Amino acid sequence: MKKMAKKMEPFLYLFPSMLLLASFTYFPFVQNIIDSLFIVNASGVRKAFVGFENYLLLFKNEQFIQAVFNTIKYALITIPCSLGIGLLLAIIARKKTKTSIIYEALFSLPMAVSLSVIAMIFQLMLNPNLGIVNKILGLDINWLKERLTALPSLIAMEIWLNIGFNFLFMLTAIRSIPEEILESSIIDGVNKVQLVYKIIIPCISPTLLFLLVSSIAKTMITSGLTLILTHGGPNGTTETIVSFIYRTAIVNQNYNVGYAASVVGFFITFLFVMISFVYEKKGVNY
């Protein structure tokens, strides 16, 4: 009896969190998949079973296809840039000094500011008439309204937003590397570039994997900047998967396509997260 109680003890500790996870994550997701196979009215009531017809309609929707490509492009640029800049800043700030608190706080600042505030700040900066960006560059561009500049503008904002989070984790990981390892590597003739690629990155690879996976999950479901600043425009060039779902299901109350789009969006995100775990087998040292 005691052995059984001992075996059950960990599961009893996990039970409350697992119950919440099942109630608010897994059950709604399964229900969403089921609803995607039905015609659902504006009240969310299932009317008729249609199988994969909602998915066929979805893949014929050019706006959704464009939203998928926009999201993938968004992720492929945002994630490497934000991780790279965060790593660079963490390497620069590796050694503690009397003034390190100041620049550590400045590098971490983006994660302390709310998304809506950041959106408003960048909206003013990119304003075609009053914005500082046009003033400095001597240009006359409506950054958030033109097809060529709208998505790159949002990508630049997202990179800036993610730098602080990545910086804090990488700085902690780099400072946990024993100083003797770095000093002995330098004595053995390792230059600064080799020190980063051969010593620092392998040592912090578990942290890099965590940041990579969390960045993929976060970026693939991004929608805040799009909904606040561009509403998917101009002509869908800044539409993301989640903003498409919001506009289709919540604004237009087309739950049929909305449910199908959310399922497809999940599996695309899941696929990219699974691909990222290839890095664990090849590049992560525990």
pLDDT higher than threshold 70 for residue 283: no
- Say how far apart CA 207 and CA 201 lie, in whole Å: 9
Helix count and strand count (H, E) for the chain: 16, 2
pLDDT higher than threshold 90 for residue 222: no
* Cβ neighbours of residue 115 closer than 8 Å, sequence gap 6 or more: 161, 224, 225, 228
pLDDT in tens, 158-184: 999 999 899 999 999 998 888 888 888
Place of tokens 């976060």: 218
CATH code, 51-283 = 1.10.3720.10
pLDDT of residue 66: 95
Work out the average pLDDT over 86-105: 84
pLDDT of residue 199: 84
Query: Whole-model pTM?
Result: 0.88
Domain chopping of the chain, boundaries: 51-283
Q: Is 265 left (phi over 0), alpha (psi -120 to 50) or beta?
A: alpha
- Say how far apart CA 172 and CA 79 lie, in whole Å: 20
